[in-house]
Structure 1
Amino acid sequence: METATVASPSAFRRALIEWWQSEGVLWVFVFKALLSVFVALWLAYRLELPQPSTVIATVFIVLQRQSGDVLAKSFYRIIGTMVGLTVTVTLIALFNQERVLFLLFLSVWLGFCVAGSARFRDFRGYACVLAGYTAVMIGVPATLQPDNAFMNALWRVIEIVVGILCAGLVSGLILPLTSSSNMRATQYNRFRDFIGFAMDGLNGKLDLTQVEQINARFAALAVGLENLRSASAFEDPRIRLRQGRLARLNNEFMVLSTRFHALHRLLQRLQDDNEEDVLEALQPCLDEAVLILEPLRGHLLVDAEAAQQAERLDSSKQELMQRIRLARQQLAIKLPDEAQSLDFDTAAELLFRFADDLHGYLLTQASLISTHHEREQWKDNFTPRSNGLAAVISGMRCALLVLLISSFWIATAWSSGSTAVLTVGLVSGLISMTSRPGPFATQILIGAFGSGAVGFFLYFWVYPVIDGFAILFCVLGPVLAFGAFLLVRPVTAGYGVGWLVWFCILSLPVDLTQYDPSHFLNEWIASLIAIGAAAVAASFILPPNRPWLWRGLEQDLRMRLVFAVTAKLKGLVAGFESSTRDLLNQAYIQAAGHPDMQRHLMHWMFAVLEVGHAVIELRQEQAALPREPWYAKSMEWRACVRIMEQALVDLFMQVDEDNRQRALIAVEQAIEAVRNTPEPRPPQFDTSPLRRVLSHLHFIRTSLLDPHSPLAKTSSVVIESASLATAT
């Protein structure tokens, strides 16, 4: 007789937790979306607002999984709305009798706002979208009724505020999922994964594909955590008191990962060059570093434990330093070759700096326990960077579309032309913040078509036979729940936007509903034509996921080296690290589906980080030099370093073999000049500034000599081959 297997309570509990953390979060979002809509729609009808659709559309546009994101989007939506209102009222006052000029300036303003949203790509970009859309939403109807423009503008603002309040209250009070908790969990997981990554690298267990994939993920997390930090400040006063330390923590992680990458690449080059003696001398030091990392592996290090680990690491650094000095003495006896000694010194210094950076990261994390701490005094900011040409093209594409549809509206006296202009403005703003605007607009088109068909059925066959708000919401609930379910999933978000927004615009009943099938169909067709026009324009007028943008992003990455050489030292490290990773994150997304191009752009980020970080530290070293004659600006080695920096700028601005050779010669001359400069200090990198300068210069030389670096290849060959593959 078989015995039935009964699941244990603990297994059921684990399964329930796993469901809650995956699918459960999605269904909670759907529930909160319906509750927000229920409250907002009831208020809209109760207050007799002219357009309840604006209230509900606002709820869906603002609503996010985390409450901090909702509050942040609400804040910037209000700012964008007020800016758009101000611009619209000004344009109405100037051109209330001249519709052509009004639409011309409105299209220019909308293009400017779309360019801003493509440029910033965060909550500021969202404010730009709303500034443009509010101007269109208020301004286009004003061309038909200029006398009521001001009152209509006030009504739109009231409707938007009601939607924002409902979404914010429900998100914050009902089953809240806070951005701050998500941020901290992401930080802990990122550090745990990095420790495992670093230990595998020190043990020689990483291949190039793993390095590329993990670095791409770390770049995306750096950008995402900065957005989470900004959103968390809106919901949690404890986060606001720690904003400086959280920004510092993110920056220190970027520096830490850059340091490890430089160390790992140098070890790989030593292996490729068969420098067995140097690697053998380094091995005890690497083993000591692995022992330092071992207690941190596979462990989510919370703030309370970070102080203990920082104290342990402080003493471990001294042991590491002793091992480095002992290994250097043994290598000098065995191999007095100066070139091999320089290889060892550079790798050993990178290893010790890696341990020191790790110690600083742990100290900052430990300081988060305190409400106030001296490490809060952090003034450097995360500096996002995007391709300016791509932003300008997005804005010009939007302005051109609005002008074309406005011209068609005026020329044909199209009864639904205002809806088409309003729709194309909204869609252009929404797709400007995505990496694939054409496919996203196509999803919106399909969603709007489906919701229009369902809305037509409800509008003329269901609404006339029901009575009361409760029954109305029972009818609307399944439709809106389906749209919210599409919206919360990234792969179907475009369908959800089209379904929800245009169902609200076309099919939501007002207080005095007019059942006019011809008017409904005209508005629906106008919306579909406008969305289709936006999709076609985004797909065929310089779409972003094409070689022209890849070339631009590669150029932007290379210009980060110019920034490292020429910018002021104050805030340089944070600006360089954050902007380089932000560009790489964009490039990786834009080149999705083209792995060769993603790999090419990733290699450029590696080259920029390696050389750029060494240049920055070289500049910092010179800025902190004591006032002694062998460190004076008039010394030959200082002049050689300046010549080398200019040669690097020339190389990264114009990549070719001649410039690479000139840069190599300049680096060699700088190394020779430093070697020939007498310095009455112990020749250790913790006591000798010139010893550290020599290590930075040697690392730059190894990067330039790396045969796998894009500096040793022709960049255009890779991009042209990708362009040919795209065309094929």
Structure 2
Amino acid sequence: MSTPATSVQASPSPSPGRQLREAASEWWQTDFPNWIYVFKMVFAGLLALGIGYALNLDSPRSALITVFIVMQPQSGMILAKSFYRVVGTLIGSVVVVLFVGLFAQTPELFLLASACWIGLCTVGSAHNRNFRSYGFVLSGYTVALIGLPAALNPATTFTSVMTRVTEITVGIVCVGVVSALVFPQASSPGLVRIIRSRFTAFVDLIGSTLGGTSDRKQLEATNARFVGDIIGLEALRSSAIFEDPEVRLRSGRLTRMNSEFMALSTRVHALHQLMNRLHTSSNASAQRVIDMISPYFREVQPLLTRSGGEPVMGALDAADAALKLDAYKQELPRRVRATRTENAQLLDDEAILDFDTASELLYRVIDELHAYTLTYASLVQRRHEREQWEHNYAPKTSMVTASIAGARAAITLIGLSTFWILSGWPSGSVAALNAAAFCAITSAAPDPAKATRTVTMGVVVAMVLGYVYTFHILPRLDGFWMLAAALTPVLMMAVLLTTKPKLAGYGLGICIFFPFLAVPDNLVHFDAAGYINEAIALIVSLVVTTIAFMLLLPPTTNWTVRHLEKQLRKQVVQACFGKLAHLALQFESGTRDLMHQITVLTSSRPGLRQNAFGWMFATLEIGHAVIELRTELQAIRSGNPGLLPPPAYAALDRLRETLPELFNHPNPATRAAVLSANDGAIAEVQQAIGPHYRERSERHRLQRTLSYLHFIRTALLDPYSPLQPAPKDGQDSNSNITSGTNGASHAA
């Protein structure tokens, strides 16, 4: 009997109506918000321009340009940027009046003072974060924008300052009102999405890490993503508090969540690394330790799931998870002690240390996970006791790189100002002030030279379009409405370009400089020579800025990355000798902030980035253990100083003194010195514990101290740590590691 042929039936293609609905749905979700943003910004800009003309301001185009400078998708970001723009402008205006009063008769001194002020403001901009840096930029930019013309005509200084502040205020008010009333896009929904997605991602990480399915590379990639999430959440929070009173009521809890998340993610990574090291060990006792502690790992995941088996995501579900975590945390120490007692005869001293360290880390993970979950659950309430949190996120910026950025801006202004004075170029002031401004504005970009080049191309387009509008279209227009209609197509195109990441620089150049060149003042001048002079001045200023970023210690050089990496390692020095009050949060946030800066600079250099992440994990592991060790020792010294003998205190102090040298100058000699000091401290603490009877609280305190020391030792011996000596020529870097451990998971 013949076998019937199996026919494969092709799936029917969707109907044209369904395809149209899917395309419309995709356009609504992706492109429609961008078009709403374009219409809002153009409308706000033209509104500001019209009000500027109605108020007979000298240069209404400044109000229009202000709209495009502060434009952001979310209203909270606009309000935050506008606030710091006003503050920066007011401070800069005061400095203008001061400098003009002091140096009106000596333009050389005025330019030198202005260059120094702009350099200082650029340092402040590079040293700060979020839109606070923009306030510093505007403070310096205002001195150049108002001060240079005012220095030539000192009698008009006060009028120029008042006009400038009025024009900026008009632009800020218009963009704020339009953003808040016309299809408002709030920052708070994005904040909620980040909080929820991060909590869900961390629940998954806990499950995979403690469940034994996460390897080293996966864990490091997840932690790398968390670095960006921490910085992003803080940036969104600082913007959303301007627009949403509900966010302001929860600002302390959001900051607290970020702090708890940093501590928790560090602890989970440390536990995972310890278990990986146990898996690479050939000692049979290490496998017994794994078998003893693994059942506790498997009990954590159910605590973070709902009754239906789905993971906890919302704040309401987190409240139930917090209750389960609290009950588990209360029982965990008793159960771990029982497990230790049952197996004590089967373990050697090293294995007991491993078990005590792993169980202590597990308890800390549960404790901090409980705190993090409690804070997340508290967000459903408008007011809560967990709002009382005064330990703010503490960014860390290298003063060396910030000072280089300031010096670059000052040198650029001095160079162009000198050329302006010596050549008598009528538009030299325009070139000088724009170069200084862009040196400050683009210093924070990942590749400032590239960013300035793209803006330069946008300025070239703006120059051509501006010439056509100024000399061929404007003379044929009558009244504001015709002017608005003529400007709208170009402004819409420019704003639309800013929504495309690869074209944003071109759009920004057109948005700012097309109005500068093409939009007339209240008293219209048609001066072709003046127009060409100003256009050339803008191009020259941006070319000089690009050259300055390429020649004057560019931020994208390997030197900058290595310097930031050195600053990252120096965080261990802070952990060893900083004041213990709030030290853990300062250490965590500073380390991650430096890593975020390195990540931005090494987007196209994965080798440098991977090396820096290795140092971040080593710094976090050892630095955190040192802070906890110091905290424990402080409690012992204040509560029961006789618990440890003097030789133990001396050995612990010796370890704290040798660790900074290892991270300042990592080499085999300093690593050997730290290992020797650490082994000596372990021996002294073990001798203090002794076989004799001690109260449970005293023994547990000493065991915790021993656990921190043992964890530092295992971190120093980690075969994948950058602290390990580089392999000799011809030697496999993994030759001393069990085969197959690269990226091994600590199977539970």
TM-score by length of 2: 0.91
**Partner in structure 1 of residue 73 of structure 2:** 65
Q: In the alignment, residue 559 of structure 2 is paired with which amino acid?
A: W
**Partner in structure 2 of residue 118 of structure 1:** 126
Shift of 1:200: 2.1
**Partner in structure 2 of residue 331 of structure 1:** 343
Q: In the alignment, residue 488 of structure 1 is paired with which amino acid?
A: T
Q: In the alignment, residue 702 of structure 1 is paired with which amino acid?
A: T
In structure 1, C-alpha distance between the alignment counterparts of 2:562 and 2:669, rounded to whole Å: 21
SS across alignment from 1:432: helix
Conserved in 2, the CA contact under 8 Å of 1:448 and 1:498? Answer: yes
Correspondence list, 1:365-514, <5 A: 365-514=376-525
Q: In the alignment, residue 332 of structure 1 is paired with which amino acid?
A: A
Shift of 1:511: 2.1
Say whether 1:34 aligns with 2:45.
no
Q: In the alignment, residue 612 of structure 2 is paired with which amino acid?
A: L
Say whether 1:49 aligns with 2:60.
no
Shift of 1:283: 2.0
Shift of 1:205: 2.9
SS across alignment from 2:462: helix
Q: Which of 544, 551, 554 is the matching residue for 1:540?
A: 551
Cα deviations across residues 507-550 of structure 1 (Å, max 9, x unaligned)?
11222222221111111011101111101111222111111111
**Partner in structure 2 of residue 707 of structure 1:** 719
In structure 1, C-alpha distance between the alignment counterparts of 2:81 and 2:323, rounded to whole Å: 41
* More off after superposition, 697-706 vs 195-204: 195-204
**Partner in structure 2 of residue 187 of structure 1:** 195
CA gap of 1:53–1:60, structure 2 versus 1, over 3 A, is same
Determine what percentage of the aligned residue pairs are the same residue: 40
Conserved in 2, the CA contact under 8 Å of 1:84 and 1:130? Answer: yes
Q: Which of 166, 169, 172 is the matching residue for 2:180?
A: 172
In structure 2, C-alpha distance between the alignment counterparts of 1:84 and 1:38, rounded to whole Å: 26
SS across alignment from 1:366: helix
CA gap of 1:530–1:377, structure 2 versus 1, over 3 A, is same
**Partner in structure 2 of residue 301 of structure 1:** 313
Say whether 1:24 aligns with 2:24.
no
CA gap of 1:63–1:633, structure 2 versus 1, over 3 A, is farther
Cα deviations across residues 403-447 of structure 1 (Å, max 9, x unaligned)?
111111111100111111121122112111212110000011001
Shift of 1:276: 2.1
Q: Which of 57, 79, 82 is the matching residue for 2:87?
A: 79
In structure 2, C-alpha distance between the alignment counterparts of 1:537 and 1:251, rounded to whole Å: 38
Cα deviations across residues 162-204 of structure 1 (Å, max 9, x unaligned)?
1111111111111111122211211111111122123222333
In structure 2, C-alpha distance between the alignment counterparts of 1:328 and 1:53, rounded to whole Å: 75
Shift of 1:17: 6.1
In structure 1, C-alpha distance between the alignment counterparts of 2:697 and 2:40, rounded to whole Å: 59
SS across alignment from 1:467: coil
CA gap of 1:527–1:666, structure 2 versus 1, over 3 A, is same
Shift of 1:122: 2.0
Correspondence list, 1:515-664, <5 A: 515-625=526-636, 629=640, 631=642, 635-664=646-675
Say whether 1:311 aligns with 2:323.
yes
CA gap of 1:591–1:49, structure 2 versus 1, over 3 A, is same
SS across alignment from 1:425: helix
SS across alignment from 2:596: helix
Say whether 1:694 aligns with 2:706.
yes
Conserved in 2, the CA contact under 8 Å of 1:345 and 1:695? Answer: yes
In structure 2, C-alpha distance between the alignment counterparts of 1:25 and 1:246, rounded to whole Å: 27
Shift of 1:493: 2.2
Q: Which of 153, 156, 169 is the matching residue for 1:161?
A: 169
In structure 2, C-alpha distance between the alignment counterparts of 1:226 and 1:686, rounded to whole Å: 40
* More off after superposition, 573-582 vs 642-651: 642-651
Conserved in 2, the CA contact under 8 Å of 1:331 and 1:341? Answer: no
Conserved in 2, the CA contact under 8 Å of 1:611 and 1:700? Answer: yes
* More off after superposition, 82-91 vs 342-351: 342-351
**Partner in structure 2 of residue 105 of structure 1:** 113
Q: In the alignment, residue 427 of structure 1 is paired with which amino acid?
A: F
Conserved in 2, the CA contact under 8 Å of 1:621 and 1:689? Answer: yes
CA gap of 1:394–1:471, structure 2 versus 1, over 3 A, is same
Q: In the alignment, residue 41 of structure 2 is paired with which amino acid?
A: A
In structure 2, C-alpha distance between the alignment counterparts of 1:688 and 1:8, rounded to whole Å: 70
Q: In the alignment, residue 230 of structure 1 is paired with which amino acid?
A: S
Conserved in 2, the CA contact under 8 Å of 1:92 and 1:142? Answer: yes
Conserved in 1, the CA contact under 8 Å of 2:491 and 2:511? Answer: yes
Shift of 1:623: 2.6
Shift of 1:373: 2.2
Q: In the alignment, residue 244 of structure 1 is paired with which amino acid?
A: G
* More off after superposition, 430-439 vs 131-140: 430-439
Shift of 1:107: 0.8
In structure 2, C-alpha distance between the alignment counterparts of 1:469 and 1:390, rounded to whole Å: 47
SS across alignment from 2:554: coil
TM-score by length of 1: 0.93
- Could you say what the CA RMSD is over the residues aligned between the two structures, in angstroms? 2.4
Shift of 1:339: 0.6
Shift of 1:58: 0.8
Conserved in 1, the CA contact under 8 Å of 2:257 and 2:375? Answer: yes
Shift of 1:246: 1.2
Q: In the alignment, residue 632 of structure 2 is paired with which amino acid?
A: E
Cα deviations across residues 325-346 of structure 1 (Å, max 9, x unaligned)?
444344324x231111111221
SS across alignment from 2:31: helix
Conserved in 1, the CA contact under 8 Å of 2:495 and 2:511? Answer: yes
Shift of 1:571: 1.1
Shift of 1:294: 4.4
Unaligned runs of 5+ in 2: 1-10, 730-748
**Partner in structure 1 of residue 743 of structure 2:** none
Conserved in 2, the CA contact under 8 Å of 1:560 and 1:580? Answer: yes
SS across alignment from 2:702: helix
SS across alignment from 1:688: helix
In structure 2, C-alpha distance between the alignment counterparts of 1:704 and 1:5, rounded to whole Å: 60
In structure 2, C-alpha distance between the alignment counterparts of 1:589 and 1:618, rounded to whole Å: 33
Q: Which of 90, 98, 102 is the matching residue for 1:90?
A: 98
Cα deviations across residues 380-414 of structure 1 (Å, max 9, x unaligned)?
11111112211111111111111111111111100
In structure 2, C-alpha distance between the alignment counterparts of 1:412 and 1:674, rounded to whole Å: 75
Q: Which of 247, 256, 277 is the matching residue for 2:264?
A: 256
**Partner in structure 1 of residue 357 of structure 2:** 346
Cα deviations across residues 453-505 of structure 1 (Å, max 9, x unaligned)?
11111111111112232222221111111111122333322212211111121
CA gap of 1:628–1:423, structure 2 versus 1, over 3 A, is closer
Conserved in 1, the CA contact under 8 Å of 2:200 and 2:312? Answer: yes
In structure 1, C-alpha distance between the alignment counterparts of 2:653 and 2:331, rounded to whole Å: 36
**Partner in structure 1 of residue 158 of structure 2:** 150
Q: In the alignment, residue 386 of structure 2 is paired with which amino acid?
A: R
In structure 2, C-alpha distance between the alignment counterparts of 1:265 and 1:683, rounded to whole Å: 32
* More off after superposition, 291-300 vs 537-546: 291-300
Shift of 1:93: 0.1
Unaligned runs of 5+ in 1: 718-728
In structure 2, C-alpha distance between the alignment counterparts of 1:467 and 1:659, rounded to whole Å: 78
**Partner in structure 1 of residue 6 of structure 2:** none
Conserved in 1, the CA contact under 8 Å of 2:187 and 2:239? Answer: yes
* More off after superposition, 218-227 vs 282-291: 282-291
Shift of 1:8: 8.7
